[in-house]
Amino acid sequence: MQQERQLHYGLIVRIYGDEKCFGPGIAQLLERVQVTHSLRQAAASMNMAYSKAWRIVKTAEETLGFKLLMSVTGGKGGGGAELTAEALNFLQRFREFESALRSYADEAFVEFFS
């Protein structure tokens, strides 16, 4: 019997309503919208088709029951897409939930696999 090799774990957290609506993909997409102020640029930066990004956002909005993105016109940057207050709040809770699970999993992994 060989020694068990060096292992680590991976964790994917998703939120569901009637269907899958929020996970690592849309979280990253929204975070990139915060930076680029553009769903199109955010999608491109993840090598994701704009049509797919749009569909992911629409499905999540329908399932969650609130808007995630809003259009901002004018201003110094010439306008673009911004996250709604509800989106910012939900995104933050998602990341905190993920982070809490990872902290717990780090300890549990050592307990079960060391």
**Which residues are at the interface with its own copies (CB under 8 A)?**
1-18, 20-21, 63-66, 86, 93-94, 96-97, 100-101, 104-105, 108-109, 112-113
Find the shortest distance in angstroms from Cβ 39 to its own copies: 21
The Cα–Cα gap between 27 and 29 comes to 5
Judging by DSSP bridges, how do beta strands 80-83 and 69-72 pair with one another? antiparallel
Return the number of the residue (2 or 51) whose C-beta is nearest its own copies. 2
Work out how close the CB of 13 gets to its own copies at its nearest, in angstroms, rounded to a whole number: 6
Q: Are strands 69-72 and 20-22 parallel, antiparallel or unpaired?
A: unpaired
Phi-psi region of 78 (alpha: psi -120 to 50; beta: other; left: phi over 0): left
Least CB distance from residue 68 to its own copies, whole Å?
A: 12
